[in-house]
Structure 1
């Protein structure tokens, strides 16, 4: 059975962020992930991790002004210095918190910038980030996101992500494969997971439509969970979905769909 990590940016959001660690542990999760730690000190987060016996499996590099609608800056040629400063900050947090991998959100394509410039900027930023993370013994991830949820997001498809990683040429850089985003953009979930397993560093889930719990939509999660076991996926599966009701009330899918 896959190992599930609670995404604290999506689950238990009715309580303040630092209180979500306790809720995740009480709900039976052994690991968590979230968008960003930067609003808190590493010491504050580590205290919650230690208290509740959890581990953090993932967080993101700084991604610009999230509250203003920014969703990453890695493809923006006007913000290279900001991106690279963010890499240093993220590595500091990851080291302090024992996080093994960091996700880079490519961001929305800035208006009026040539496509070749966008790609070159992203590739060069990813090379910088991968080198910095390799020195720190960390893995770098990039995540394709569907263009319906985030219109204008630069990175949408698995094949595009793999092509970019080929150009980056770093052996510690992988795809973060979000099943929900992939279903909305390209489908072929099982075939893609099996074909590219060696290049997938992390998997996330939600059902479609609605981005709610597995079992609420069209995706055959019992089949996919069995497939992940069969093909030997060793990582965590991040539960990055919007609960249809109270988080705890919807957690029965973990047993029902993995039996």
Structure 2
């Protein structure tokens, strides 16, 4: 079965953030991911990883002003210098934490936004990020996100993401396949996994429709985990979900699929 990483931004919220590393390790996780590391010193986070024998699987590049509703700046005109500084910061953290993958969030586009202009900026920024990351043997991933959880997000579908990947043309630019988001927007998950797996850089799971543990809801994740194995995926699968109660009490899925 795949290797599973706990998303510490959403899971283990009954613990202070730095204590979530130990909690995840005690429950059997070998890897962790989270949204952003920048509130903490990279050395402090690296020490937590070493202490608990964990691998850092993924985190996001700086997203702009999250508190004000920004969800990435890669598509935003006039923010190119800020974007490049964010890429530099993300790479510095990745090198300190030992992870090889950085998620670059696209951003929110308004209903009257010029999608063609945003897309052109996106391609240019992704090419820059991929080039900088390649110098350190790092991967950049982009993720389609559903419009129910994140209204206005620029990138929503797997086929669109892979078209952008092809246009940028960087070998180290891959697509993040969040099965929760994909099920809400487009479904047909098994077919799309078979279609896109060679260029999938990271996978995430959560139960649909309520974003709780992945062993509940409308998706047969047991089947999909076996399929992911069959397709030869050797990366991490992140549990990016909101636990129904205490995180440790809802991990029957981890025991069954590990």
- One fold, TM greater than 0.5? yes
The structural deviation recorded for 1:111 is 5.9
The structural deviation recorded for 1:195 is 1.1
Paired with 1:83 and 1:188, the residues of 2 have a C-alpha distance of 34
Say which SS state the counterpart of residue 76 (structure 1) adopts: coil
> Does the CA contact (< 8 Å) of 2:208 and 2:218 recur in 1?
yes
Paired with 1:224 and 1:93, the residues of 2 have a C-alpha distance of 32
Say which SS state the counterpart of residue 227 (structure 1) adopts: helix
Q: How does 1:22-41 map to 2 (within 5 A)?
A: 22-41=22-41
Indicate yes or no: 2:133 matched with 1:133. Answer: yes
Say which SS state the counterpart of residue 56 (structure 1) adopts: strand
Paired with 1:209 and 1:197, the residues of 2 have a C-alpha distance of 24
Indicate yes or no: 2:253 matched with 1:242. Answer: no
The structural deviation recorded for 1:214 is 1.2
The structural deviation recorded for 1:94 is 0.4
Paired with 1:23 and 1:225, the residues of 2 have a C-alpha distance of 24
Say which SS state the counterpart of residue 79 (structure 2) adopts: helix
Partner of 1:252: 252
Partner of 2:78: 78
Partner of 1:154: 154
Q: Root-mean-square deviation (CA), in Å? A: 1.1
Paired with 1:131 and 1:99, the residues of 2 have a C-alpha distance of 17
The structural deviation recorded for 1:78 is 2.1
> Does the CA contact (< 8 Å) of 1:3 and 1:235 recur in 2?
yes
Paired with 2:132 and 2:168, the residues of 1 have a C-alpha distance of 13
Partner of 1:188: 188
Scaled by the length of structure 2, the TM-score of the pair is 0.98
Say which SS state the counterpart of residue 170 (structure 1) adopts: coil
Q: Deviations over 1:144-197 (max 9, x none)?
A: 000110000000000110111111110100000000000000001011111111
Say which SS state the counterpart of residue 202 (structure 2) adopts: strand
> Does the CA contact (< 8 Å) of 1:145 and 1:155 recur in 2?
yes
Q: How does 1:217-228 map to 2 (within 5 A)?
A: 217-228=217-228
> Does the CA contact (< 8 Å) of 2:5 and 2:31 recur in 1?
yes
Partner of 1:43: 43
Scaled by the length of structure 1, the TM-score of the pair is 0.97
Q: RCO (CA 8 Å, sep 6+): is it higher in 1 or 2?
A: 2
The structural deviation recorded for 1:217 is 0.3
> Does the CA contact (< 8 Å) of 1:76 and 1:110 recur in 2?
no
Return 5+ residue gaps in structure 2 as ranges.
none
The structural deviation recorded for 1:110 is 4.5
Q: Deviations over 1:41-78 (max 9, x none)?
A: 11110111111111101011000111222111111012
Shifted more, 116-125 versus 60-69: the winner is 60-69
> Does the CA contact (< 8 Å) of 2:111 and 2:152 recur in 1?
no
